[in-house]
Amino acid sequence: MKKIILTTAFLTSCLFANSEISTNYTYKDYINSKTKTKGKTFDYRFLHNFENSQITINFEDSLTKRENEITKAKLTSLEVEKLSFKYLYNLNENYSVKTSFLNIEDNLAPTDDGKVYGIGIINKNSFFDIKVDTYLSDYEDFNVNQYDLTFIKKFKIEEVNFQASLGTKYININGEKYGNYILKDKEFLSTFFNINGNYKGFIAGIGFVKGDRLFTVFDDGLKVEHHALRQNETYSLNLGKKFKHIDIMARYIYSKGDELPENRDDVKSKFTSIAVSYKF
C-alpha cells in the first residue's frame, strides 16, 4: 500500500501546481517501558490547494521493537500503518470548515482497524483565530470523543514573525475494555501551548502539553495515539529553515506517561525527527 500511495502522490503533485509533498523520519526511544525499546516512523504527506479548498493525505509507517524485560528475549515487533485524510474549505475570509478521516492497521493492539472521524470550524478575526474541533474514534470495544478548543495569535516583533497557540483538549471514553484491560478513568482534560518564530526563513519553536490524556487525536485529525499509554506531560522543540521551494525541519519531543495494561508508571518517550518538504 505504501508504494501505491507514494506513487500516486508524486504523480499528482507533478500534474497540479500549489502542491506540497513531504517526508518525515522519526527515531523513537523508550525508557522504563515494559516491552518497548526503540523504533522508527516514516510519514509521507501530500497537500494540494485549489480555489477555496485544501486536501491533505498522510501515510504513516511505524515499527517498534520489543523485548522481554527480564530475559531480554526479542518479542514480536509492533507494526503500524495509518492512512489519514483532511479536507478544508474556506467559506469566506472569516470562516473555514474541515473534516478528517483516519484508519489504523496494527498487528498487536486491540485498536486495530480503528477509525477516527473529525469535523471542525475556524473563525479568523483581527485579534486572534479560534478553532473548534470534534473527533470520534471508533474502536471495536469502545469509542472516544474528543473536543478541542484552540486560540491562535499571529504577531510581529521587529523582523520576527510569531504564531502562538493556546488550547485545551477534553477526552471522554465510552466503553469498558481495551483488550483484557478494564478502562477505569473515562474523562481527561489537558492544556497545550506552543509558539513559533520565523526570522528570514529560520524557524524556531517550543511547546508543551500538560494534563492526562488517552487515545489523543492531534495534528488536525491526521494523527492519533491509539495505544493505552496515558500521557501526563509532553515538551517539544522545533528548528528549521524555509527556502524558496524546500523546507527542512527538525523536532525533538519528550513525553512522560503510564502504560495502563502493563501497570507501568513513569514511562518516558524520546522522539527525534527530521522532515523535508517540497512545494510545487
What is the domain partition of the chain in residue ranges? 1-279
Q: How far apart are CA 173 and CA 183, in angstroms?
A: 9
Q: What is the pLDDT of residues 6-57, one digit of tens each?
A: 555 554 555 566 889 999 999 999 999 999 999 999 999 999 998 899 999 9
Radius of gyration of the chain (CA): 19
Q: How far apart are CA 205 and CA 153, in angstroms?
A: 14
Which of 54, 46, 39 shows the shortest CA–CA distance to 4?
46
144 in Cβ contact with 115 (< 8 Å): no
Q: How far apart are CA 195 and CA 37, in angstroms?
A: 31
Report which DSSP code applies to 9: H
Residue 229's pLDDT is what?
97
pTM here is: 0.93
Tell me how crowded residue 275 is: count the other CB atoms within 10 A of its CB. Answer: 18
Which of 245, 251, 260, 275 shows the shortest CA–CA distance to 212?
260
Residue 280's pLDDT is what?
84
CATH topology of domain 1-279: Porin (2.40.160)
